Structure 1
Amino acid sequence: MSEEKKTEELIEETTASSTEHDTDEYEKVCCICHRPESKTGKMIELMPNMCICPDCMQKSFDSMSKMDANTYQELMEMSKRFPNMQMINVSDLTNQVPQRQKVKKKSKAPALDLKSVPAPHKIKEKLDEYVIGQEYAKKVISVAVYNHYKRVATGTMDDIEIEKSNMLMIGPTGSGKTYLVKTLARLLDVPLAIADATSLTEAGYIGDDIESVVSKLLAAAGNDVQKAEQGIIFIDEIDKIAKKKNTNQRDVSGESVQQGMLKLLEGSEVEVPVGSNSKNAMVPLETVNTRNILFICGGAFPGLEDIIKERLTKQSSMGFQADLKDKYNDDPNLLEKVTIEDIRSFGMIPEFIGRLPIIFTLKGLDKDMLVKILKEPKNAILKQYQKLLALDEVKLEFEDGALEAIAEKALERKTGARALRAIIEEIMLDIMYEIPKDDNIGKVTITREYVEHKGGPKITLRGDMVIYG
C-alpha cells in the first residue's frame, strides 16, 4: 500500500472518530425554536447543521394547508409582475448556518466526593502562598467554600437541608478582594465565574441582563449544566448597584438590579443563553438551577467609613463623656466595625443583605504588608522582574531600604497593592532599556537613593567591578 493511501485512510479514521465524538457529546438544536433534542424529541435534519423539531415542522405544514386559492393566485400574479425574481437556493444557506448550533448533552453528573474537596486548613495554606495578610478573610472564605461543597454532597441524604451561605466581602481598593477569589479559582477544581456588577441593568435596558452572570459560569463549566450548578460566582464591584439617593428617575442600574438578583441568590431556575451574554433568536437557551451555586459579592464601598463614623460619634456627642468628632479619622480598623444598618444606609436594600449572611471585611494594607507583597508571594512582582532580567543573564536585587521606599510611595497613592506595580514600572523603565545594550553587566542592585531619585542603581560588571549609576 502506498504512503498516499495510508495517509488518506488515516485522515478518514480521524474525521470519523471526531464526528462520533461530537455527536456523542453534543445534541442538536432546532433552527426555529432553538430547543435542544432532549426537550423536543427526535429532530428532522433538513441539511447538514440545520435541524427542525417535530412541533415546528407540524406548524409549517398547518400554515401551508391553510393557504387558500386566493393566496396562491396572488403569489402567481406577483411572479408575473417580477419576472427576474428567483427562488432561494437552499444549498447556499448551509454556509450561513452556524457550524455548531448544538448544546452539550445533559449527562448525569457524578456524585460529589467529599474526600476530593480539600479541608479548610488546606485551602488556607494554599492561599497563604499567594495572598499576604488578610488572615481572617482567608479563614472565612476557606470554611465557607468547604461547607458549600458539604452542602452540595449531602443535599439529599436526609430531611435536614443545609442552607446556602452566600458571602459579602468589604475592603478598600487594592486590598486583595478580586485577587483572593482568582487565587481560589486556581486552587479548586470547580467552575468559577467572575462577573462585574457595573454593567448590569434591569431587563429591557442597554447593558448586561442579571442572568448574564450565570451564563458566564455556564461557559466556564464548558456548557455542562450539572457542573455549572455546583460552581461559584464572584460578583465584583457590588457597591456600584447601591440604591441611588435623591433621584426621581427610574434606577435601572441600582435598586432594580438588587431586586432582580434576589431570586438568583436564593436559588431559582433561570434560562440563560449558551455562548452569549444576551438572549436572541439565534442562541439556544439552557435552564440552570442556582440553588447550589455559591455567590461571593465584593466591593470597596467608598464612603462607608463616613457612615460608620457618623453612627459611632452619634452615640455620645455632648457632655464630659462625649466622643471627639475626629476620634475615628485615623482608625485603620474602622471597616471592621461595620453593621448591617451601615450597609443599608449605604444603599443596599434589606432583602439583598439578608441573602448574604456571611459579611466580612479586609484590612487596608500597611507598609510592612506592602513590603511582603513585593517579595514573598509565589508570583511576587520582584520575582517577575528578576525572571525578566535573568533571561538577559543579569541578576536583579533590591535593597531593604529600596523596598521600604517603594512601599511608602504606594501608601501615598492610596490605591493599595495596585500602586506597587505602577511604581516598579517607573523605576525599572530605564534599567530595562539600558541593560540589553551592554553584555558586560552581570548584576543590578536597586537602592533607596535610586527609588527616591537621589542617586542611581548599583551596577556590577561580570568581572566584579562595581559602578554606581
Structure 2
Amino acid sequence: MSEFLPQTGEIKLGDDELTPRQIVSKLDEHIIGQKNAKKAVAIALRNRTRRRKLDPELREEIYPKNIIMIGPTGVGKTEIARRLSKLCGAPFLKVESTKFTEVGYVGRDVESIIRDLAMVSLNLVKQEFRKEVEAKAKERAEEALLDILLPFPAKTSIADPHPPSIGFSTNEAEEEREKRFSETRETMRKKLKTGKLNEQIIEIDIPQAGPQGLPMLQVFGAGNMEDLDNHIQNVLGDLMPKKQKKRKLPITEALKVLEEAEAEKLLDPDKVQREAQKRVEEMGIVFLDEIDKIASREGRAGADVSREGVQRDLLPIVEGATVNTKIGPIVTDHILFIAAGAFHMSKPSDLIPELQGRFPIRVELEKLSMEDFEKILTAPRSSLVKQYQALLETDGIKIDFAPDGIKEIAKMAYDMNEKHENIGARRLNTIMERLLEDLSFEGPDLPEDQRSLTIDKKAVESKLKGIVEDKDLSRYIL
C-alpha cells in the first residue's frame, strides 16, 4: 500500500505499488542488461496491481499474459524471474520442463508443479506470520525453559512428611516457599539472559515433525508413484498423533527449538492456509525452464510424441484449472507462467499452437558482450568481485581488483565463450575460481605482510593465459 510522508511531501511506494520503471530499476541492481525482458516482466507485475483495483466482475475476466524468454544459457533468464518474485514477495517455483519426460513416455504428473508451488507459498506465509509472533514466542520459550530448569514446587499437603516450621501456619509457609521460588527463578532468568547457562545441557521433548493440513484424497495417474508415496505419508501423518522424542541439547540450541515450537502453537493454521492459498492464486510465479526441449519438430516421431504429450498436459494448468493440494484446491487462472529456452535446435513455433497461444509475449535476450561481463563483475549489489573479497576477508586477506584486471577477466570470459560453448555469465565463475584457487588454499597460512594484494592485468595473464591458449586444457578447466 502507498504511504504519504508529510515531512517530504512524497508518496512512499510499497512493492505492490512499484511502477514498471521502478521495477526495472530494482532489477538493474542485480542483473546487467536485458532491458526487453525486464520491461516485459515489469509490465506483467504491474498488471497484477492494476487488476486488483478493478471491480470483481471485470477482475475475473483479466488473465495474466504469460511470457516466453528466448536466449542462451547464462544470460539472466532465471535470475530475472527469481528477482521479480522476491521483489513482490510472490511464491516462486522453477521447474525443468524435461523432468516430465525423463522416464520416457510417462513422466511426472504436471499437476505436481502446482502442488510444489502451494508448499512454497505455505512456507513463505509461515515465515511472515512467525515474524509477527516472534517476540511472544521468545517469551514463552524462555518460560518453558525455566520450567525445565526450575520446576514449580508441589504444594504442601496435610500428609506432607516435611511440615512447615513451628511458628508458621501452612498458608504462611506456602507464601514463603513461593517467594523464595520466585526469587530463585528471577536469578535463573538473569543468568539465562546473560548467557551464563549457555553451555549447560538439558533434556527437552521435541514433537516429531509431521505434515500440516487436512488429509485429502487425490487421484494419481500412472507413473506418478513419487507423488502417491508422498501423499500416503502425508495422510497417515495427519491421522496419527504426533510423537514426542527426547533430546539433550545445550541451552542455546534448546531455546531455539522451543521458540520454533511456541511460534508454531501461536500460528492460526486456518488463517495461514487461507493466506497461502490466496497468495498462490493471486501472485504465484512458475518458471518453466528448457521449454524448447519439449518442442516437437514437424515430421519427427519417437521421443517427439512424448514431448507433445507433455505440452498437452501443461495446457490446462497454464490455461486455468483446479488442482487439489495440501492447502486446498488451487485455481491456476491467474498464476503467471514464464517459460524460457535457448531454442538452438527448435523455435517457439514448434510448440503446439494451443500452447503458443497461452504465451502471447515473447522476448529475446541478448548475448552478453565484453562490457556486460565487466559490469557483472562489479556493478550488481552482490557482484562476483564483492563476493570473493568478502569471502577472503574472513581469513584476513584483503584483495583489490585493478580496472585493467577486471577488463582482462571479462575479455578472457568473452573469448572463451566465443571459442567454446557459450555458457554466458557462468564462465566468470570458472575463471574467478581458477584465478583465486591458490590464494584461497594458501591464504589462511600466509604471513601478515603477504595478506594484501592487488589483482591487475599482469596477475590475471600470468595465472590464466597459458590455460586459455591451450584449447585442449581449457575445455576441462574453463
| Normalised-by-shorter TM-score class | 0.5 to 0.7
Distance 2:457 2:40 in 1: 38
Residue 447, structure 1, aligned to residue 456, structure 2: yes
Cα distance in 2 between the residues matched to 1:197 and 1:371: 32
Indicate the residue corresponding to 2:433 in structure 1.
Answer: 425
Q: Where does the alignment leave 5 or more consecutive residues of structure 2 unmatched?
A: 1-12, 123-272, 466-478
Report the counterpart of residue 71 of structure 1 in structure 2: none
* Residue in structure 2 matched with residue 228 of structure 1 by the alignment: 280
Deviation at 1:391, TM superposition (A): 1.4
CA contact (8 A) 1:203 1:210 kept: no
Alignment partner of 1:154 out of 54, 59, 69: 54
Name the counterpart of 1:343: 348
SS of the counterpart of 2:436? helix
Structure 1 unaligned segments of length 5 or more: list them: 1-112, 275-284, 305-341, 457-469
Q: Corresponding residue for 2:313?
A: 260
How far does the alpha carbon of each residue in 1:239-280 deviate from its partner, in whole angstroms, 9 at most, with x for none?
1111155543364541111111112111122234x3xxxxxx
For the 8 Å contact 1:114–1:153, the answer to whether it is kept is: no
Q: SS of the residue aligned with 1:384?
A: helix
Q: How does 1:117-136 map to 2 (within 5 A)?
A: 117-136=17-36
Map 1:184-263 onto structure 2 (within 5 A). 184-201=84-101, 206-222=106-122, 224-230=276-282, 231-244=284-297, 246-249=299-302, 251=304, 253-263=306-316
Counterpart-to-counterpart distance in 2, 1:218 and 1:210: 14
Pair 233,157 (structure 1): closer, same or farther in 2 beyond 3 Å:
same
Distance 1:399 1:116 in 2: 40
1:453 is displaced (CA, Å) by: 2.5
Cα drift, residue 450 of structure 1: 2.5
Per the alignment, in what secondary structure is the counterpart of residue 64 of structure 2?
A: coil
One-letter amino acid of the counterpart of residue 405, structure 1: E
Match of 2:201 in 1: none
Matches within 5 A, 1:25-36: none
Deviation at 1:182, TM superposition (A): 1.4
Deviation per CA, 1:27-62, whole angstroms, max 9, x where unpaired?
Answer: xxxxxxxxxxxxxxxxxxxxxxxxxxxxxxxxxxxx
Report which of the two has the higher share of helix: 2
Write the deviation string for residues 307-364 of structure 1: whole angstroms up to 9, x where unpaired. xxxxxxxxxxxxxxxxxxxxxxxxxxxxxxxxxxx521xx211211111111111110
Return the alpha-carbon distance in structure 2 between the equivalents of residues 392 and 265 of structure 1.
49
| 2:330 aligned partner | 288
Structure 1 residue 152: Cα displacement: 4.5
SS of equivalent to 2:462: coil
Q: What is the total number of aligned residue pairs between the two structures?
A: 294
Which residue identity is paired with 2:447? D
Change (3 A) 1:368 1:352: same
Aligned ranges 1:80-159 → 2 under 5 Å: 116-154=16-54, 156-158=56-58
Equivalents in 2 of 1:343, 1:203: separation in Å?
Answer: 24
1:302 pairs, out of 333, 336, 344, with 344
TM score, norm. by length of structure 1: 0.58
C-alpha RMSD of matched pairs (Å): 2.7
In structure 2, do the counterparts of structure 1 residues 454 and 410 end up closer, same or farther at CA, with 3 Å as the change threshold?
A: closer
Call closer, same or farther: CA 1:386–1:301 in 2, change over 3 Å: same
Contact 2:66 2:338 in 1 (8 A): yes
Structure 1 residues 268 and 403: alpha-carbon distance in aligned structure 2, compared to 1, 3 A threshold: same
Alignment partners' CA distance in 1, 2:353 and 2:340: 17
Kept in 2, the 8 Å contact 1:137–1:360? The answer is yes
**TM-score (ref. length: structure 2):** 0.57
Q: Distance in 1 between matches of 2:332 and 2:55?
A: 14
- Partners of 1:191 and 1:153 lie apart in 2 by 21
Maintained 8 Å contact 1:170/1:300: yes
CA contact (8 A) 1:202 1:209 kept: no
How far apart are residue 203 of structure 1 and its match?
A: 11
Q: Displacement, 1:430? A: 0.5
SS of the aligned residue for 1:452 comes to helix
Q: Could you tell me how far 1:124 is from its partner in structure 2?
A: 1.3
Which amino acid is the alignment partner of residue 226 of structure 1?
Answer: K
- 2:112 and 2:33 map into 1 onto residues whose CA distance is 33
Report the alpha carbon displacement of residue 406 of structure 1 after superposing the two structures with TM: 1.5
Q: Is the 8 A contact 1:148 1:165 kept in 2?
A: no
Kindly, what percent of the aligned residue pairs are identical? 37
1:307-456 matches, cutoff 5 A: 343-344=348-349, 347-411=350-414, 412-413=416-417, 414-440=422-448, 441-453=450-462
Counterpart in the other structure of 2:200: none
Query: Which amino acid is 1:353 matched to?
Result: Q
